[in-house]
Every structure is written in C-alpha cells, then in structure tokens.
Amino acid sequence: MAPRILLARHGQTAWSLSGKHTGRTDVPLLEEGRHGAKLLGERLHRAPLDGLPGVEVRTSPLVRAAETCALAGFGGRAEPWDALLEWDYGAYEGLTPGEIQAVRPGWLIWRDGVPEGESIAEVTARADEVVAWARAADRDVLLFAHGHILRSLAARWLGFPLDFAARIRLNPTSLSVLGWAYGEPALESWNDVGHLAG
C-alpha cells in the first residue's frame, strides 16, 4: 500500500474566526473548536477509518493542534513535531489580510512572504521534510496542524511550488487526504467538514 497523508486542521480559535494570521502565538481552541475536534474524532474512529489502526500520528506542538489531536482521541498516539508548526508570520503575526493590504496593497503571502518571519523557501523546505518522511515508510500518517502549513504540504505533495496553496482553502477542523492516482500524487479528498454537520 502506498502511503497517504491524512491532514486534520485544528479547531476554531478566536483568531482563526476573526481571520488573524496565527503563527506561533499559542491561541487556545474556542468551545466550538473543541466540539468540532470531538466530532472529527468520532469520524476518524468509525467505519471506514475505524480509528486508523497502524497509522503514525504527529501533531504540531502548539496547543490548538495538540488539543484537537487529544480531543479527537489520538493524543496518546501522537508525537509532537516542530516541522508541523504554522508559518512564522513575523511582523504580520496577529494581523488580518485586510490590515496587511492596507499598508501593502495587493499583498499575497504565497507570493510575497512576510517580513521578519519565515521565508517561502523555509516553509517549502519544512513541507518537503514532512512529505519525504511520509513517503519513506509503508504506512499512512495522520497530521494535526495548521491551515497554511497543511496547504503547503498539499502543494508540495503534488509537486507544485508553494504558491499553488493559495488556490486550496482549508477550514478549521477539516479532514483532507493526500493519496495517489495512477501512481502519481493526488488529492484524494480536500477540506471535508461533513462531520461538523453532526
């Protein structure tokens, strides 16, 4: 079996709700986010996934991802990994895209990067590290992390430059699967939030 990456974005926080760039600031989940994480866990533990026996679980060490992982029922199986930290937004931490564009019209993180934070090349290198690790063994992996790093992983899994990630939105507490089609890396499913309707 060729390995797949299952991507779980953390639950809703006050900053994700308001659209603020939340990089390394350790913002906790809202009650809505905790509830969504439990619903995600229920989905991952029922057929056809059945708790993903044998899957290797990694999580960003930031509380919003680690708590989502724990509430979903995978905390005891998860290993924290700094490679899954969110993009370091530097001077743009805590700002919304609108606030940034007010001083830098036309700004797009995937093209323009951020001052005093991680470069596009650095984020690409981290995403490539995770993709290489996931492909190195014959097992699926489940990752709990953040919107921009997970979108970056998808772009790099597919072999595209990081700016491809601008075209794939990712909601809080969503589940996505990166897999294979005809021997080529593929999006098996993306930004699935069907479990949140429950």
Q: Catalytic residue positions?
A: 10, 86
CA angle, residues 110, 193, 77, in degrees to nearest 5: 85
Cα(75)–Cα(84) distance, rounded to whole angstroms? 15
Q: How distant, in Å, are the alpha carbons of 15, 93, 137, 167, 182 from that of 120?
A: 22, 16, 27, 16, 30
